[in-house]
Chains A and B, each alone.
Chain A
Amino acid sequence: MNDIVISVRNLVKKFGDFVANDNLSFEVYSGEIFGFLGANGAGKTTALRILSGLSSPTSGEVMVAGYDAKKEPEKIKKNIGYMCQKFSLYEDLTVKENTMLYGGIYGMSLPLIKKRTAELMEKLNFSDYENKLISDLPLGMKQKLAFSVAVLHEPKIVFLDEPTGGVDPVTRRQFWEMIYEAASRGITVFVTTHYMDEAEYCDRISIMSDGKIVALDTPANLKKQYNAETVEEVFIKIARPDSPPSPLKGG
């Protein structure tokens, strides 16, 4: 197997008495498309914040892109990309201004930003849109651009939060092809989603429930193991809480 780019050992995160992440251990490899699933409040967001250097673990060892999440969160931030469907780009800036802004934030040199932007415009067939405001673009284009901007600095890992929600089936497939292409270049793609058919595209998935990882395998193996037709069925079998539902905000 490939190199390990995310290594989590006995990760615990507590807020007061509440254990949001209860002894998580897993590894993610370079070039892997990894799906991180769980019901609302299962602890996904907490773990994601730790993996992206925004929050520190209470205990345990978390290494992301070769850096320790406890000691070097700033280095982690430089080596990852992040995209969520709705809020990734600045709507009142143009396409080019967005690439300039993100390239600048990630410390890329101006010539490099210009070169990558030009390549990107050509690859996406966006040349006529370079100076258009994001708010004037159709959703499908925004989404492809948001992903491209998230990997503009060629990060080791890109985190995608519900990447394809709401787009038409053709755009959705073009988007997954972009993800496959990035993965084939060695970029690790870490996907969190509520939508189990997005999970079917992943190489491996983990399912969280009540702060713990309760399943981790390829979609095909999990379907076999739980005797289910779809990942959605697997998820419902695993994640349906036996205890009364918690009303707390989360997700």
Chain B
Amino acid sequence: MQKVIESFGVGKKFGATQALNDISFEVNESEIFGFIGPDGAGKTTLFRIIATLLLPNEGEMKVLGLDATTGFKELRSNIGYMPGRFSLYQDLSVEENLNFYATVFGTTVQENYDLISDIYSHIEPFKKRLAGKLSGGMKQKLALSCALIHKPRLLVLDEPTTGVDAVSRSEFWSMLAKLRKYNITIIVSTPYMDEAMKCDRVALIQNGRILSIDTPQKIREGFSKRLYRIRAQDKYKLIIALRKYPNTNTAYPFGDSIHVTFIDNAPGDSLPGFLESEGIPGVTIEESGAGIEDRFLELMEKTA
């Protein structure tokens, strides 16, 4: 299978800041590949290098078999790039934006309409409206339509779901899944760990370094300890008490429970009594599988 992206030891510095450090990964054809990490991890810098908009200081970035630093002319007509900040023309209408992007890439909306019809149909009723007057979810659909209109082989989506409500986010991910049948490879970045599960493979990224690359399932299975969810009415008191318990390894708040690992890998018989003596009644303890975010936390501890 042809590799759509091959990155070897890519590094990027801005002044004294090392934004990317020894970034190596490969993306396969037709894959949905996610970069999951917080703001400032280096996702946008990496995506700009892939989209031929920034040059790396070190290493080699090959995209669609071409070197991103020298092959940019050819690459740009084969990449669809959706930057994190809404970058369409706010004072052009929906339809005008789409026509503009099609024309810039030497094609027409009609020619590739089947590719975008599923996405564009949501906003077509408002095609006369100025892009600046659309809601977040609508802007996102228009931006995706514009990034797709020249039928790129690689789609580069930088935080497409940031600031968009849960309904639009879920619609967006199902649209990406439907693009598989057109053989388009997709790389997508997000700070939201739960979105990792929608990707075929993901790279966890933090402080300019890749922490782990694998399928979401394998990343979860990489969690090295047994994980317990502990619940009580007063979560704050529960965390403080758990941190006092001698056998506790880590205790982190996770939604309505506290995720806890133990030095002995099990809570031990004395835990319920201990919590009771700390004034925390009605505690429930259950073993649970680790999520992407649990694994991310564990990897962060190891590199700290």
Contact = CB atoms under 8 A, between A and B. Distances in A.
Interface of A: 38-41, 138-139, 165-171, 173, 176-177, 180-181, 183-184, 194-197, 200-201, 219-220, 232, 235-236, 239-241, 244-251
A39 B166 contact: yes
Interface stretch (B24-32, B53-61, B248-256): B248-256
B38 interface: yes
Contacts, number: 115
B125 A244 contact: yes
Contacts of B14: none
A235 B137 CA distance: 16
B300 A245 contact: no
A208 to B, nearest CB: 11
Contact of A249 (B37, B135, B163, B256): B135
Interface of B: 37-41, 122-123, 125-126, 129, 133-138, 162-170, 191-194, 206, 234-237, 239, 252-256, 293, 296-297, 300-301
Contacts of B206: 168
19 contacts: A39-B167, A40-B137, A40-B165, A166-B38, A168-B206, A168-B300, A169-B297, A177-B236, A177-B239, A180-B253, A195-B166, A197-B194, A200-B255, A232-B166, A236-B166, A239-B167, A249-B133, A251-B135, A251-B136
Contacts of A184: 234, 236-237
Given A168-B37, A194-B165, A197-B255, 5 more contacts: A39-B168, A40-B164, A167-B39, A200-B255, A245-B137
Contact of B129 (A219, A245, A247, A251): A247
> By CB atoms of chain A within 10 A, which of B125, B138, B296 has the most?
B138
A194 B253 contact: no
Given A169-B193, A169-B296, A247 B256 contact: no
Contacts of A197: 192-194, 255
A194 B195 CA distance: 14
Contacts of A40: 135-137, 164-165, 168
A184 B237 CA distance: 9
B239 to A, nearest CB: 7
A246 B167 CA distance: 13
A184 B253 CA distance: 15
Contacts of B236: 177, 180-181, 183-184
Which of B168, B169, B191 has the most chain A CB atoms inside 10 A of its CB?
Answer: B191
Nearest to A240: B167
Nearest to A138: B40
Contact of B194 (A39, A180, A232, A245): A232
B83 to A, nearest CB: 16
A200 B194 CA distance: 13
Nearest to A251: B136
A57 B169 CA distance: 31
Nearest to B133: A249
A166 B191 contact: yes
Contacts of A251: 135-136, 165
Contacts of A168: 37-38, 41, 206, 300
Nearest to A235: B166
Most B CB contacts (10 A, CB to CB) among A40, A219, A232, A251 go to A40
A251 B191 CA distance: 20
A180 B254 CA distance: 12
Most chain A CB within 10 A, of B123, B126, B255, is at B255
Nearest to B190: A166
